[in-house]
Amino acid sequence: MATEDDPVFKALADPTRRRILDALRDHDGRSLSEIEAVVTEGTDMTRFGVMKHVKVLVAAGLVTTHRSGRQTLHHLNPVPIRLIHDRWISRYTEPKVAALSGLKQRLESP
């Protein structure tokens, strides 16, 4: 049984797509060339491969595009992630999850 969250989970399952989302979080409104420069660094991924990943993110609603002159700019849309958060993390468990997340970050930081 498919749900409306399936494309979001599929998009988030891939490390390359998460890297694209991280790049957009750090600097929103990137062109495909800028995304490609970040994602392909140290890999043999092609521009076509990056485009395919971006299309999956757009289809899931995690990335929106805006045309500016000859460029298409890509923007992070955090709403689908927030909707999943709201669905799976209740207001009663939020403090516990936040505490565990903070502990994990402190333990893993140098």
Reported residue count of the chain is: 110
Q: Is 49 domain-assigned?
A: yes
User: Residue 92 falls within a domain, yes or no?
Assistant: no
Contact (Cβ atoms closer than 8 angstroms) between residue 73 and residue 30: yes
Task: Show the domain range for 35.
Answer: 6-77
| Averaged pLDDT of the chain | 91
- Least confident range from 21-25, 26-30, 101-105: namely 101-105
pTM: 0.80
Residue whose pair of structure tokens reads 């994990």 in the numeric block: 104
Give me the number of domains the chain comprises. Answer: 1
Query: How far, in Å, CA of 6 to CA of 88, rounded?
Result: 14
Token representation of residue 8: 């979001």
Average pLDDT for 61-78: 94
The count of other CB atoms within 10 Å of the CB of residue 64 is 14
Residue at 106 is within a domain: no
CATH number of the domain that 15 lies in? 1.10.10.10
Residue 105 predicted with pLDDT over 70: yes
Give the residue with greater pLDDT, 2 vs 56.
Answer: 56
Measured distance CA(81)–CA(27) in Å, rounded = 18
Do the domain assignments include residue 70?
A: yes
If you average pLDDT over residues 2-20, what whole number do you get?
Answer: 89
